[in-house]
Structure 1
C-alpha cells in the first residue's frame, strides 16, 4: 500500500520564524490524496560533535512540527508513515504535532 502512494516534497524557508518548512503532496496514481506542512526548528542549542576525516564536525539537533496534515481518510496511516520516515532520514531528532491529529481526521 505504501509503495502505491507517491510523495512530493517542496522545501521552503520562512524568514518570519527562521525555520525551514516542507510542503508535502501525496498522490496515488494521478490523483492527489492529501498534503501536509511541516516546520523544522533547532532544539535548544543542542549540538552533537563527531570526528570525521576533515576533523571535528558539529551538527545541531533539530525537531519537526507537523503544522498541517490533511489526507483522504483511508490513506492517513501510510501517508503519515512516509512523512515520518522522510523526517527521520533528514535527521529530525523529534517529531511533534502542532495540532490534534485525531480531531482533524474526524472533521
Structure 2
C-alpha cells in the first residue's frame, strides 16, 4: 500500500463523513484549522531530522515525492490527522456552549 492510498482509505473517508455531518461554523472554524498548522510547523523539522539520522525511512515506490527528507504524504498526515481528531472530538463532546469562550467556567 502506498502512503497516498493509506490517506485515501483510512483518513479521508472518516474525515469527510465527520465534516459533512456537522463541523463548526465560523467563528470557531479558525481554531480547527489552527491545530493542523501548528502540527505541521513543529513536526516538520523533527521528522526531517529523524529520517536524515536514519531512525526511520520511507521505501522507494511507496511515496509520490520528497520535500527535504520527508515525503509529501507525511506532510499531508501532519494536516489531516489533527483535522480528523478535532472533528471526532467535536462530534463526541459537542460544541462548547455559547459564551464559554473555550475555557471551563466555575459554577457558583
Measured against the shorter chain, the TM-score band is under 0.3
Higher helix share: 2
Q: Which structure would you say has the larger Rg?
A: 2
> Normalization by structure 1: what TM-score?
0.26
Higher strand share: 1
